[in-house]
Amino acid sequence: MSSDPLGGPNMAEHAVWTSEKPCTAPSHQLSPLPPSSPPSDHVPSQSSPTGLAHETEGLNDGDSEEETTDGLVDPYSIHGPALPSDGADLIYDNWGGNIACEKASTTALPLEDDEPGGPNSEVFIDPWLDLDALDHSDPLAVDPGFDELAEHLPSDGIQLPNEDAWFPWPNEKHCLLDILGAFPRAAFSEAEMEITRWVAAKLGVRDLPSIRVVKSHRSEVLKLAGSQPQVLKSAIGNLYCKTSLARILAHEVANPIVRQLLEFYPEDSGPRLAEARQGERWRCEVDSTFAGVMARADDGQDYFVSEPALATVDDIGTIQPVIPVRFFTRNKTLFAKVHRLHVERHADRDSFVVDASGALDQGSMELPLHAFFLSYPRLLESHNAYSLPPPTRIAGIRRSTASNAPGRAAAVLDVWKAPLPNPWRTKAQGKRVLALPLWWYCDDTSGNSSKKWNKHNSFLCVLAGLPREHVHLAYNIHFLATSNIAAPLEMFEGIAADLKQMQADGLVAWDCVLDEDVVYIPWALACLGDNPMQSELSSHIGLQGKRFCRVCHAHGKDNSLTGEEGERDRLTSFLFAGRPRTHAETLQALDLQWKAIQVGAPSRVDILATESGIKDKHFMAFVERFSGEISKLKASNRAEGNNATDGLPDLIDAVLDGRDDKLLFNPMFTIQGLDPHADTPVEILHVVLLGYVKYFWRDAVSRQNVAGKRTLRTRLASLDVAGLGLPALQGNTLVQYAKSLTGRDFRVVAQVGPAVLYDLLPPTAYEAWLALSRLCPLIFQPEIEDMETGDSSNSTHASSASTLLTTYSANTFTDVSQLPNSAGNSSNSTQDVSQLETSSGDSSNSTHASSASTLLATYSANISQLPISDTSNA
């Protein structure tokens, strides 16, 4: 107990009394006592506590302390209950009067320094006054703050607010007011916030912070939870705004809502395909450093790719050195694809040889993680105990079974280039290392809320490890950069710099699920966008170019081929996938264009771009500068009678202004693990719905006269679409505004087209509609249960649709039934394409049908290579 505020003594000082003398209750004023307690007439002493202390201190050596404390009670409190005559300043203590005297005396345990029989061996302890002396480690000890009846009391329905739930804001009111002024989609001005605050106060909300207080606290919130936006200048000189990719990713793995859904390893799901992690891009193609560089076993050992380890390789417990090359999951169990390590004699000493012959029953195998029992550091220490050479001694890698022939083993070994230990083991310093794949997205949007177009290019990203149903939730889509001045590739300079730094050093962030710091390695799974944007991101010339495909070397009309031969050449390019473009080829084409600048021939750049189909818009901005400066230099040299190219190297250095010439090109090609040609998958919204479905519908409507349009409107309005989960169709809108419909409208048109157009189109055109409507449902399937049968079905329908669509050409209806199909059926590949037959058609639809056939043919040629996640873009 604390000291009496009226000047009384601290009761804790008198919690221990001797029990040899009877205790009498104070009777400063008479008050009724319980029947068992005799009346007391003891008048308490008026001496102060200080006086008592002095008296005790003044005892002689021979005086008895027992006599001094005889009858000692609290002189400033009496027992209750209160009487009408009691003063207003009295303190009642029911446990300090006669009731206390009736309590059975107890014997206190001796202190450590006390001996049995000492002065403290027999004392009375009042547990109500000496609560601090309780041992709270005892499970049976009394908790002073515990109320046994509290849980049985009726609830008033009022819960105290949990202020920590609104961290980093002080409370809910601060949070909501701050969001009003900072929410990007509908930011309130200070005047609007003041009005809102006034309305809330009138409605009874109390203790609202002022707007000034909220804004002053916002800087602290942004410091902790902000995205660190920056205004940067591109190499070309334009300004743009960029957020910190590292800060965004660190927040995501610390967010329990998001982190618990993330997957960090590819999955072998058999024939089923439903998630990005199940596709070949993540599971097989990307470098193992990005796919999953390490795995931690249950015993705490870390196994990294390209590091020797010991594992049990069969059911009978055979132990063999192996080297993991890729980690993946199967049925929620972590596996590793490994190569066996054989001990062979090389350079007069035993060394390991990596057996990468390829067959799972020979050099390669798949082992569950629990089959490993000795990681690289431990194997390095104990290899002698297993009669093995040091794991650092690897002679090379054998990649073919032919090298197993006697006398040829050493000659065909390739050099093992992976360093030991894995560099990421050194960088991690004992932390986990996990992969963090990302979807990139770029598109142009209007910065105005009105219909007036104000083009802004923006970059966004989404964590690819999220389940498919979560990647499109608003809080999982993160803004990276935007500008209405800088081009997309200019903005990607800053994003690429952040990404390359994290790929080199890793991103150390706290993981809220593992409750520890983890090293993350972000990488680009794919770049999404519409066709023009993806062409720009891959340094492609575009759909209007002669080499119209960004994925392969398919080409359009060749002026050297005319007539029937030219038509056959165009059809072949539409219906067959050309030779794939590669990362290295594109860089080589750009290098040729740069050399044309260096020799003073900038006009050659456009010619080279047309021939190769590679036109880098980032580089073209510098080409324009070089072209202008070179023209001035040549004119000056001619006027002075000098060689036209005199001073050209100095001019180029001046324009570069100290930049590395590699910074002139598309920064997409500087990202590890990313090939913009192969990693820009088809986007269904623009390719299918806003592509050939739109052109089909425009063509179908334009063919109708007044009566035909009236019939079409009536059929659309009367069609029962309840089974499609759609409201009644607005036939007048779909027909009258056929050239102004959106993707949502065309999604409906693709499903109902054949039901309303059956006698309004020529037979060939209607057959093309049927093929299109069979293909669209397959395109929009988010899951494929069996890739073998599903891929075959997709290829068949795509081949049929592309063939019929090509025949639906405006100028020429072509019978291509003798052409080999786009699925690559070798049995038809030798058919004579000279058997093509042509007939005339309606030239008014030339542009629409030609564009549609180009898009669909390109799509059908690559349909079997699409990741399933791309279907979500519609």
On whether the CB atoms of residues 250 and 507 are closer than 8 A, the answer is: yes
Coil, strand or helix at 376: helix
Residue 150's pLDDT band (boundaries 50, 70, 90)? low
Query: If pLDDT is split at 50, 70 and 90, which confidence band does 45 have?
Result: very low
Confidence of residue 12 (pLDDT cuts 50, 70, 90): very low
Q: What average pLDDT does range 750-773 have in this prediction?
A: 91
Arithmetic mean of pLDDT, 207-221: 88
151-170 average pLDDT score: 70
Q: Mean pLDDT: which of 36-40, 85-89, 511-515, 851-855 is highest?
A: 511-515
In tens, the pLDDT along 321-351 reads 999 999 999 999 999 999 999 999 888 899 9
The confidence score (pLDDT) of residue 566 equals 72
Kindly state the DSSP code that residue 720 receives in the 8-state scheme: -
| pLDDT of 620 over the 70 cut | yes
pLDDT of residue 327: 96
Query: Cis peptide before 777, with omega less than 30 degrees from 0?
Result: no
Across the range 234-257, mean pLDDT stands at 94
Q: What is the pLDDT of residue 855?
A: 41
For the ranges 159-168, 305-314, 389-398, 465-474, which has the lowest average pLDDT? 159-168
- Which residue shows structure tokens 């003044």? 58
Question: CA 772 to CA 832: how far, in whole Å?
Answer: 27
pLDDT at 493 over 60: yes
Beta strands in 560-635 (DSSP E): none
DSSP tag of 329? E
Read off the pLDDT band of 151 (50, 70, 90). Answer: low
Q: Which of 147-156, 680-689, 847-856 has the lowest mean pLDDT?
A: 847-856
Average pLDDT over residues 472-479: 92
Where residue 113 falls among pLDDT bands split at 50, 70, 90?
very low
- Nearest-CA neighbor of 225 among 258, 186, 189, 254? 254
Residue 847: phi and psi, rounded to 5, are: -65, -45
Amino acid at the residue 201: A
Q: Examine the pLDDT at 117 and tell me if it is beyond 50.
A: no
- What are 783-836's pLDDT values in tens digits? 888 887 765 555 665 655 555 555 554 333 333 333 333 333 333 332 332 222
- pLDDT above 70: percentage of residues in the chain: 68
pLDDT at 33 over 60: no
Per CATH, which fold does 297-421 belong to? SH3 type barrels. (2.30.30)
Q: Is the pLDDT of residue 77 over 80?
A: no
- pTM here is 0.72
The DSSP H or E segment spanning 523 is strand 516-528
Are 420 and 391 within 8 A, CB to CB?
A: yes
- Reading the block at residue 486, the tokens are 């800088």
Q: Could you tell me how far CA 64 lies from the centroid of its own chain?
A: 80
Distance CA 872, CA 782 (A): 7
Predicted local confidence at residue 629, as pLDDT: 92
The radius of gyration of the chain from alpha carbons, rounded to an integer in Å, stands at 42
pLDDT at 224: 87
User: Which of 237-241, 578-582, 842-846 bottoms out in mean pLDDT, i.e. has the lowest?
Assistant: 842-846
Give 450's pLDDT tier (boundaries 50, 70, 90): confident
Domain boundaries, the chain: 1-145, 165-225, 297-421, 583-674, 684-873
Q: What is the pLDDT of the chain when averaged over all its residues?
A: 77
Calpha distance 73→69 (Å, rounded): 9
Q: Report the alpha-carbon distance of residue 335 to residue 331 in Å, rounded.
A: 10
Residue 238 in this model has a pLDDT that exceeds 90: yes
For residue 102, is pLDDT > 60? no
* Nearest alpha carbon to residue 833 among 866, 806, 872, 869: 806
Average pLDDT over residues 420-427: 95
What percent of the chain stands above pLDDT 90?
A: 46
Low-confidence winner among 42-56, 550-564, 587-601, 801-815 (lowest mean pLDDT): 42-56
Instruction: State the pLDDT at residue 306.
Output: 94
Percent helix, percent strand, percent coil in the chain, to nearest 5: 40, 15, 45
Which pLDDT score, from 0 to 100, does residue 108 have?
46
Classify the phi-psi angles of 270: left when phi > 0, otherwise alpha if psi is within -120 to 50, otherwise beta. left
Higher pLDDT, 18 or 103: 103
Per-residue model confidence (pLDDT) at position 805: 58
Q: How high is the pLDDT of residue 81?
A: 65
